[in-house]
Amino acid sequence: MQVAIYTGKDPGGKRFLSTLERRIARQEIRAWEVRRKSPLTLVHSGDRYASVRVMFVPSGTRTFARVAREGKLGAFRSPEPALVATITGASSVDRVLGFLVGMLTRHAEPLGVIGVGIPLTE
């Protein structure tokens, strides 16, 4: 499942990624843990959702291009989002989607998020 993330003055999403990583490290956002730094991959801190990963891919990368080419962005391919978050896991992906969208909206201003789109193509 993909989530298109639009950022205002951060077209490549670099500021978004560094701010998100820093806020998680400082425990300003406690519900998430960093699993990998490149590409930034998060896991929800609850044990129940430990197998579900959220990977953030900025525009201009091969992975982003592949997601766009495969049509997984649906109606959100134009205008192109700054980042795509891909949620993968065996179960509870829909629950983690809710947590992710909640985090993006609650912390929208410091992260620079101006919009979120959830393509329902699959």
CA dist 90 to 18, 44, 87, Å? 28, 14, 10
Does the predicted model carry a pTM greater than 0.85? yes
Which of 116, 109, 4, 96 shows the shortest CA–CA distance to 49?
Answer: 96
What is the tens place of the pLDDT at every residue in 12-38? 899 999 999 999 999 999 889 999 998
What is the tens place of the pLDDT at every residue in 62-72? 988 888 888 88
> What backbone torsions phi and psi does residue 118 show, to the nearest 5 degrees?
-120, 100
Edge-first strand order for the sheet with 113-117 is 32-37, 40-44, 53-58, 83-88, 2-7, 113-117
CA–CA gap between residue 25 and residue 28 (Å, rounded): 8
What is the tens place of the pLDDT at every residue in 64-93? 888 888 888 888 888 889 999 999 987 788
**Domain residue spans of the chain:** 2-117
